[in-house]
Structure 1
Amino acid sequence: MRGRKIGREPVPDPGSFPQRPYDLVKEFTLALVAAVVLTVGLAALFSSPDETPITLARWARAAPDDFTATAVAELAATSGTAQYGPPYTTTPGAEQKIGPVSLQRAAGVTIPIDTARDFVLRPLTAAPEPASVSDGLTAWRTAPVRRQQQWAAAYADALDEAGGDPTRVQPGDYGPVPVLTSRLLELAKAGALDGELLAAGHFYQTDYTEPLLFLGDGSYLEDQARARHLAGDQWGMMNETGNYPGQPWLWLYTLWYQIEPFSSSGNADALVWGLMALLTLAFVLVPFIPGIRSIPRWSRVYRLVWRDHYRSHRTARRH
């Protein structure tokens, strides 16, 4: 029996297919114009306002009493940064935990901050100082730590009694604290403190850690955040400035901060991080979890997604 020789199939003639004119340049131009119009229009409707930056200078001019009270807390090492724990300080028991495990302590102090030295004393030393300020710096540095804390605590109490106004503080044993904080306020109002904290130990002035920590220790930054719906209990993690549409994919993360027990827990950040890590792991392992991995097959959702295929398959079977 002879085998049948199979030759190549004839190549179809391109001219046998229907043709129509096509202007590629025109389509590109129309697509570009449509994209530009949509981009500009949606940006005008939904983009965030162009807020001016909140700096130490702006803070000192707008809320000098809050700035002074925060500077005193930095000297006394009672501010939020001073008591935060790792990665800034070694404050015992300050770190957040998941059960007995402290993730902060495991990482250690990677950005050491001494609030009195870094936020107050070093900027005052770097700037040209009047004799009274130089004497105050000497008096502070030569005093025992306990004496420094007594001065700062006494002045903080006096400020509270005076409604936060340094000009109404009654005479007392405050050491050099009033002189130091008053001069720091002058530097901040002039804009020099922003530069001093940015330049400290850095060639490139792009590390805003210290200015942001100092700002965060006061109430001014939080007040500005709340006014723009950016606080944690305002879903601020996923909002943009002014409650504009932000990052909707963060809704699940910020949701937990709105409910108990996370909303009132001192370990909220660690607990939410741990919960999200578990949820993410469960999502990754869905193809391997018996029962859950079979839900699409049981629900027959795939038939809805591929309905055109199954419709044509049924039609072909009929014929």
Structure 2
Amino acid sequence: MREYDLFKELTVALVVVGLVTLTLSAVFGSPDEKSITMKSWAAAPDDFVTTATAELAGTSETAGYGPPYNSTPDATQTIGPLDLQSLSGVQIPIDTATDLVTGPLSTLNDPPAGLAIWDSASDTQRGDWATAYTDALAKAPDNDPARVAGGSYGPVPELTGALLTMAQQGALDGVLQAKDAFYNFDYTRGTLFLGDGTYFPDLAAAAHLTGDQWGMMNETGNTPGQSWLWLFSFWYQVEPFASAENADLLIVLLMLVLSLLLMLVSFIPVLRDIPRWIPVHRLVWRDYYARRSG
């Protein structure tokens, strides 16, 4: 039995730990960035229209991602015959042309006339229109949609222009989010659409958040980021993971093995002996071991 100062413990817990937390937040905290929206993306109409055209053409990254969004052949990451990505199947089906472009446009009170033309055209004709417009955008000065030369683009310029206007007015975010229900907090479609362009990845690179920059960010607010992600991020920086096309699958399996080792550490002869060889715990509980040895 010994005296115990509860007030001292409370002071340390609230004041000392609070000051340490505030100091660490100021030094290592994540930046308090504003939410990225379709409206903010629409301020870069060249990238927005180019990405919308790729969604119509079915050439975007999302269009060829594979499960769980679509069944694109040979799109999954595998290790020999092991194809974990395909096990769950297509759980979030996304047709990029319909879900990200024509579908949102159809919700307008006055939909563009080009929707009917697009819907009645064959898949081949749609692909030709979208491909031709993609090439024209690449040749336009600064990829500016307003400076694209004339050509056989069908309704593609009208559809992408209407979608751009919809985004600039702030209406596109809600439509993409509330596809199946009015109250919906599923940001999958909007995030995939953003990721198919260059605007979103450029913001990530500027904030040092890309995979080769070791970046990690917590939810908005000046608080420390997710420190536990460093172990996942680490493996992407070293070979053979850094150059592997199936790096995601390899790292998931590696982390699974490491997690199992951690769970079973008390049963593994060599690992369970490490505390005896490196007795850090004796420093933590040095008073106990001092009394015990005495």
Query: Same fold by TM-score, threshold 0.5 exceeded?
Result: yes
Q: Which residue of 2 aligns with 1:123?
A: 104
**Is 1:160 equivalent to 2:138 in the alignment?**
yes
Cα deviation, 1:232-252, whole Å, max 9, x if unaligned, reads 111124678799852222222
Task: Map 1:71-86 onto structure 2 (within 5 A).
Answer: 71-86=52-67
Mapped to 2, the partners of 1:301 and 1:27 lie a distance apart of: 27
Higher relative contact order (CA 8 A, sep 6+): 2
Question: Which of 31, 35, 54 is matched with 1:53 structurally?
Answer: 35
The residue type paired with residue 54 of structure 1 is I
Question: Following TM superposition, by how much is the alpha carbon of 1:143 offset from its aligned partner in structure 2, in angstroms?
Answer: 0.8
Partner of 2:95: 114
Q: Deviation digits for residues 262-295 of structure 1, max 9, x if unmatched?
A: 1222211111101111111122222222333334
Matches of 2:94 and 2:21, distance apart in 1: 44
Query: What is the aligned partner in structure 1 of residue 163 from structure 2?
Result: 184
Using the alignment, how far apart are the partners of 1:76 and 1:165 within structure 2?
19
1:200 aligns with 2:179: yes
The structure whose Rg is larger is 1
Deviation at 1:307, TM superposition (A): 4.8
Measure, in 2, the Cα distance between the counterparts of 1:244 and 1:30: 21
The aligned length equals 292
User: Is the contact between residue 88 and residue 111 of structure 1 (CA under 8 Å) also seen in structure 2?
Assistant: yes
Change (3 A) 1:157 1:302: closer
Contact 1:158 1:170 in 2 (8 A): yes
What TM-score, normalized by structure 2, do the two folds share? Answer: 0.87
1:95 aligns with 2:73: no
Q: Is the 8 A contact 2:30 2:217 kept in 1?
A: no
Superposition deviation, residue 102 in structure 1? 1.1
Contact 1:230–1:239 (CA<8 Å) still a contact in 2?
Answer: no
Q: Equivalent residue of 2:61, what SS?
A: coil
TM-score by length of 1: 0.81
Check 1:246–1:189 CA distance in 2 against 1; reply closer, same or farther (3 A cut).
same
1:171 to 150, 156, 165: 150
